[in-house]
Amino acid sequence: MPSISREEVAHLAHLARLDLAPDELDHLAGQLDQILGAVAQVTEVAADDIPPTSHALPLTNVFRADEPRPCLTAEAVLAAAPAAEDGRFRVPQILGEEA
């Protein structure tokens, strides 16, 4: 059954953009292994010819009329932002030093 190394856990944390402390990585490695071991039984039951279900309701393509509707003001949205400037979200540098 799955055995997840600490390196794999660190890689997953990077993919998930989670800055985890060293002790968190150790702790999670053991727990993820245990949980995945327990849920691996799904691989035993379902045969190839069983279709997957992604959603409880078989709804497809729910459209609305393509008409403009009122929406939130920029002011109302930016009021909850961690930082805003000139009517926009202010974010940390995204292109690095050389940009």
Footprint of another protein (CB under 8 A): 4, 9, 12-21, 24, 28, 31-32, 34-36, 38-43, 45-47, 50-57, 59, 62, 64, 72, 76-77, 79-83, 89, 91-94, 96
Q: How far is the CB of 68 from another protein (least distance, A)?
A: 15
Read off the amino acid at residue 59: L
* Euclidean distance between CA atoms 45 and 87, whole angstroms: 54
Q: Which is nearer to another protein, 16 or 68 (CB)?
A: 16
Query: Reduced to 3 states, what is the DSSP secondary structure of residue 68?
Result: coil
Read off the amino acid at residue 94: I
